[in-house]
């Protein structure tokens, strides 16, 4: 199936969230009884998801602060309030994947609308934005803070569909979700009859490993592979 019909790309696969988390969880991971990466995310992921479900208007840096403390407690690790707050405010330092900025510029140059739909607060996203926008500008940014809920709530996707129509005069059929998380993006996108391109990031586990049965429309290994395929189909 050709990618040519799509005009709007609804993104959430640009940031290496798991690496960012690991780098800022060092006070926990440096403890002798700390678990490995897989076990850590098996514990942390559900805590984050439940916090977002239970408190949909809580800002993401406060969500992460709570997640840090609860994850430490569940794993029997030592944590203090200052460490939890530091983790909560660490998102601006989390790295983008190496191919993200190049791929996004290529897609922007091809005339595609680039829209972010992300489970972050506005302040935290500004740090990511500075690393990503290099010769292009995002056409719209829809954060959990703006929407008042977190993915996978279908409310977030309704918001995106409605605002893309209002801002760009484009329809649901023009939208392609481009994401890594099957839990946060591909699965709810399927429920809204949105087409999707899954970026199968190496070693990504949160929102991925437990959702092998969730099927995207397209699958790519990297953002640049997707961008090259999209530009080829558009030409």
How high is the pLDDT of residue 203?
63
Going from N- to C-terminal start, the domains of the chain cover 8-16+95-234, 18-93
DSSP character at residue 193: T
d(CA 205, CA 226): 20
How high is the pLDDT of residue 128?
83
d(CA 205, CA 68): 18
The distance of Cα 144 from the centroid of its chain, to the nearest Å, equals 11
Q: What is the DSSP string of 67-129?
A: HHHHHHHHHT----HHHHHHHHT-GGGSPBPTTHHHHHHHHHHTT-EEEEEESS-HHHHHHHH
Q: Do domains 8-16+95-234 and 18-93 have the same CATH topology?
A: no
Q: What is the mean pLDDT of the chain?
A: 92
In the predicted model, what is the mean pLDDT of residues 113-134? 90
- Least confident range from 81-90, 122-131, 184-193, 200-209: namely 200-209
Residue 205: band (very low, low, confident or very high) from pLDDT cuts 50, 70, 90: low
How high is the pLDDT of residue 55?
98
CATH tag for 18-93 (out of 3.90.1520.10, 1.10.645.10, 1.10.10.10, 1.10.150.750):
1.10.150.750
Is the pLDDT at 134 greater than 90? The verdict is no
How high is the pLDDT of residue 19?
87
In the predicted model, what is the mean pLDDT of residues 145-169? 97
In the predicted model, what is the mean pLDDT of residues 87-107? 91
Active-site hit among 12, 16, 121, 185: 12
- Least confident range from 38-42, 50-54, 142-146, 209-213: namely 209-213
CATH tag for 8-16+95-234 (out of 3.40.50.1000, 3.90.400.10, 1.10.760.10, 3.40.50.1400):
3.40.50.1000
How big is the CA angle at 17 (ends 15 and 21), to the nearest 5 degrees? 145
Is there a catalytic annotation at residue 12?
A: yes
State the pTM of this model: 0.92
Is the pLDDT at 206 greater than 60? The verdict is no
């Amino acid at each position: 199936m050709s990618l040519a019909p799509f005009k709007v790309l609804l993104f959430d696969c640009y940031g290496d969230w798991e690496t960012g988390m690991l780098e800022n969880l060092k006070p926990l991971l440096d403890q002798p009884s700390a678990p490995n990466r897989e076990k850590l995310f098996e514990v942390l992921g559900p805590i984050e998801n439940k916090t977002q479900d239970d408190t949909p208007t809580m800002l993401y840096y406060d969500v992460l602060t709570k997640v840090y403390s609860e994850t430490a407690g569940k794993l029997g690790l030592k944590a203090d309030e200052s460490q939890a707050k530091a983790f909560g405010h660490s998102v601006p330092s989390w790295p983008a994947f190496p191919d993200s900025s190049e791929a996004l510029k290529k897609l922007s140059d091809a005339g595609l609308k680039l829209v972010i739909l992300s489970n972050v607060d506005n302040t935290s996203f500004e740090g990511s934005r500075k690393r990503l926008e290099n010769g292009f500008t995002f056409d719209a940014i829809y954060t959990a803070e703006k929407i008042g809920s977190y993915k996978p709530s279908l409310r977030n996707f309704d918001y995106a569909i409605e605002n893309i129509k209002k801002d760009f005069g484009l329809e649901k059929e023009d939208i392609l979700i481009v994401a890594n998380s099957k839990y946060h993006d591909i699965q709810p996108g399927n429920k809204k009859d949105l087409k999707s391109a899954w970026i199968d990031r190496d070693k990504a586990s949160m929102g991925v490993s437990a959702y092998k049965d969730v099927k995207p429309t397209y699958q790519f290994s990297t953002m640049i592979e997707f961008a090259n395929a999209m530009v080829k189909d558009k030409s």
